[in-house]
Chain A
Amino acid sequence: KQEVTQIPAALSVPEGENLVLNCSFTDSAIYNLQWFRQDPGKGLTSLLLIQSSQREQTSGRLNASLDKSSGRSTLYIAASQPGDSATYLCAGNFGNEKLTFGTGTRLTIIP
């Protein structure tokens, strides 16, 4: 069974620091992986989609990496801001037209 795991469940970081969020998956035959942001009481907003043929994808202060052989993806956030506080979810597509979600990391940026 394909599983996606995010540890830790919560993370607090002082403003201005760079940080890394982790996502691991059990099936190395991953097709692509998406990172989402969810604000309290809101829907999910797609941040980055990284294909299995890519190693990195960047958008502004965000950089996502994908390592199929180790079953890991990371989301790097540079120069964190209080507005980055949210829950971040990763989801893997394993070639079956469906996403398997992790349970998310709740990020708090401390001013």
Chain B
Amino acid sequence: NAGVTQTPKFRILKIGQSMTLQCTQDMNHNYMYWYRQDPGMGLKLIYYSVGAGITDKGEVPNGYNVSRSTTEDFPLRLELAAPSQTSVYFCASSYGGAETQYFGPGTRLLVL
């Protein structure tokens, strides 16, 4: 099992550009999550999904969009990138909403 995989590992964007961060899990987990981690600020939940076709906002959803067309994939879309979106983005998954969460290796994004 590869667990949770994320691509790309690192990306530099110019202000106003768009991109999609990819996340895939092979554990047949129902729940998937997107977090951002800023230095000294802990992890903040952006969006989450409880199953294919169902998504919901987290604490900091503005500027992002998600979709969940399959159990395995949960891409995060950034539209009109801004410097405030410079961060490390982590995808995670779990079997249930109160189960152990498994994290991917992260995507480091720099918006200039």
Contacts and interface: CB of A to CB of B under 8 A. Distances in A.
Interface of A: 4, 9, 31-32, 34, 36, 41-46, 49, 89, 91, 93, 95, 97-99, 101-104
B103 interface: yes
Contact of A43 (B58, B90, B98): B90
Interface residues of B, number: 24
A97 B50 CA distance: 9
7 contacts: A32-B98, A34-B101, A36-B103, A43-B90, A43-B105, A99-B43, A99-B45
A46 B106 contact: no
Contacts of A36: 103
B53 interface: no
B98 A31 contact: yes
Contacts of B92: 44
